[in-house]
Structure 1
Amino acid sequence: MCETKKENIHQSLEVLYRKVDGCPLKDLQLTFFQMAYIISGNGFLNINDHRIAYRAGNLMLLTPNDCYNFDIEQTTEFLLIKFTGDYVKKYRWKNICEIECLLYYSAHLMGCILRNESDYPLVRSIIQSLLQGIHHSDLYEEDLQMHFVNALIVIAARNIARVRPAQLKINADSRIQDIINYIQSNIFSPQKLKAPVIAEAFGISDTYLGSYFKNQCGETIQHFTAAYKIRLIEHRLKFSDRRINEIADEFGFTDESHLNKFFKKYKKLSLTQYRKSNAV
Structure 2
Amino acid sequence: MEQIHDTFAIEIAEYSEWRERNRKNNFFELVYVLDGEGQHSANYIKHKYSKNGIFLLPAARCHMYIIEKKTQFLFLRFTGSYFIPGTNDTVDYSNWFNRLNFIMGNHDYLSGELIDDPDDKKQLKRLLDVILYEYEHKGICSAFVIQNTLVSVLAIISRNIQAKALGGRIFTDKKFVELLNFISFNILDTEKLSVSYLSRKFHISENYFSEYFKRNAAEKFQDFILNSKLRIAGSRAKFTDAPFQEIAMELGFTDSSHLNRMMKKYTGKGMRETRKEIQG
Per the normalisation by structure 2, the TM-score is 0.58
Identity across the alignment (%): 18
The answer on whether the counterparts of 2:35 and 2:73 sit within 8 Å (CA) in structure 1 is no
1:210 corresponding residue in structure 2: 214
Letter in 2 for 1:15: I
1:21 corresponding residue in structure 2: none
- Bigger RCO (CA 8 Å, 6+ sep): 2
Name the CA distance, whole Å, in 2 between partners of 1:71 and 1:156: 29
Q: How many residues align structurally? A: 249
Per-residue deviation at 1:251?
Answer: 4.0
Name the CA distance, whole Å, in 2 between partners of 1:173 and 1:279: 38
CA shift in 2, pair 1:125/1:27, >3 Å: closer
Per-residue deviation at 1:230?
Answer: 0.6
The answer on whether the counterparts of 2:32 and 2:75 sit within 8 Å (CA) in structure 1 is no
The answer on whether the counterparts of 1:236 and 1:247 sit within 8 Å (CA) in structure 2 is no
Encode CA deviations 1:49-88: one digit per residue, 9 max, x unaligned. Answer: 323355776521235632222567xxx9x8722356xx83
1:69 corresponding residue in structure 2: 66
Name the CA distance, whole Å, in 2 between partners of 1:115 and 1:174: 23
Q: State yes or no: 1:243 paired with 2:240.
A: no
Name the CA distance, whole Å, in 1 between partners of 2:66 and 2:225: 36
Per-residue deviation at 1:124?
Answer: 3.5
What are the within-5 Å matches in structure 2 for residues 1-280 of structure 1? 13-15=10-12, 25=16, 29-32=20-23, 35-37=30-32, 45-48=39-42, 49-52=44-47, 58-63=53-58, 65=61, 66-69=63-66, 80-82=73-75, 88=79, 93-94=84-85, 95=94, 108-114=109-115, 123-133=124-134, 137=137, 139-140=139-140, 144=142, 148=146, 151-152=149-150, 155-156=153-154, 159=157, 163=162, 165-169=165-169, 174-189=174-189, 192-193=192-193, 198=198, 201-204=201-204, 205-206=208-209, 207-214=211-218, 221-234=221-234, 239-241=241-243, 243=245, 247-248=248-249, 250-253=250-253, 258-270=258-270, 273-274=272-273, 277=276
CA shift in 2, pair 1:128/1:56, >3 Å: same
Name the CA distance, whole Å, in 1 between partners of 2:122 and 2:193: 32
Per the normalisation by structure 1, the TM-score is 0.58
CA shift in 2, pair 1:157/1:47, >3 Å: farther
Which runs of 5 or more structure 1 residues have no equivalent in the other structure? 1-8, 19-23
Per-residue deviation at 1:229?
Answer: 0.5
CA shift in 2, pair 1:277/1:196, >3 Å: same
Q: Which has the larger radius of gyration?
A: 1
Task: Name the Cα RMSD after superposition.
Answer: 5.1
The answer on whether the counterparts of 2:35 and 2:72 sit within 8 Å (CA) in structure 1 is no
Per-residue deviation at 1:26?
Answer: 5.1
Per-residue deviation at 1:177?
Answer: 3.2
Which runs of 5 or more structure 2 residues have no equivalent in the other structure? 4-8, 86-93
Name the CA distance, whole Å, in 2 between partners of 1:186 and 1:247: 16
Aligned-partner SS, 2:56? strand
Name the CA distance, whole Å, in 1 between partners of 2:131 and 2:19: 25
